[in-house]
Amino acid sequence: MCAHVLVAEDDEMQAELIRRSLLAEGHTATVVHDGAAALDAARRLRPDLVVLDLMLPVIDGFGVCRVLRAKGPDTSDIAVLMLTARSEEDDVLLGLELGADDYMTKPYSPRELMARIRTVLRRSGRTVGVRDDPVVRAGGIVVDPARHEVRCDGLPVECTPAEFQILLAMAGEPERVFTRRQLLECTRGIDRASTERAVDVHIMNLRKKIEADPRRPVRLLTVFGVGYKLSGGRP
């Protein structure tokens, strides 16, 4: 069963290694590199699991875990696996007391990490296959993370990984206006070379796939001076 995993790791090489291992296991992955971005992504995307480095900039892993567990049903049921070079017993106990589901210390093998992730997901019941309704809907758009499928008015839509993550985020919160930077965060770990302007290209390509007339969009709308939103109603 696949899951959506948020990787919060400031070491880009480690983050890329985890991302590739997750994709090889059939999971989807979003990568961020600081604690503030981790909290923002967790609230927007509601992943099944956060692989949370302890020594994050801006807000450390302890702070991120504390906020996730304090935010009620929106984030409190997200599984958390702490990943850190710190192995002192007090740190381990504090992480678990804050609500972490498991704790791994560096160095580690990717194979061991994937095994621990499978265990945490199984134990928490947060794999996509056991959710009541993993499918996200907005108007005539249906995004199925379990099958990695998109349908528009019942017809299949082929999306690149970056387009899929952008559409998944927007369909999860129809009518919400996303900035380019927020949409770029959805693609982190998929195309690390992307810039905010690349988001415009992804939006243009998505319009070609889900709009009857891409030049006059009625689903994927521009909010001038801010960003983009996905309409929640049928055109």
DSSP 176: P
SS3 content of the chain, % helix, strand, coil (to 5): 40, 20, 35
Order of strands, edge to edge, in the sheet holding 49-53? 28-32, 4-8, 49-53, 79-84, 102-105
User: Of 199, 193, 192, which Cα lies nearest the Cα of 170?
Assistant: 199
Q: What is the pTM of this model?
A: 0.56
**Per-residue pLDDT at 216:** 95
At residue 29, the 3 state secondary structure works out as: strand
Token pair recorded at residue 187: 């693609």
Distance (Å, whole) CA 81 – CA 133? 24
pLDDT of residue 164: 87
59/63 Cα distance (integer angstroms) = 6
Low-confidence residues in the chain, pLDDT < 70: 1, 72-74, 86-89, 124-134, 187-195
Distance CA 149, CA 155 (A): 11
Whether residue 217 is preceded by a cis peptide bond, meaning omega within 30 degrees of 0, is no
In this prediction, residue 128 carries a pLDDT of 45
Helix (H/G/I), strand (E/B), else coil: 81? strand
Looking at residue 61, its pLDDT comes to: 92
Please return the burial class of 202, using the count of CB atoms within 10 Å of its CB with bins 0-12, 13-18 and 19+: buried
pLDDT computed for residue 118 by the predictor: 86
- Dist CA 139 CA 231 (whole Å): 7
Q: How much is the pLDDT for 129?
A: 43
Q: How many residues does the chain have?
A: 235
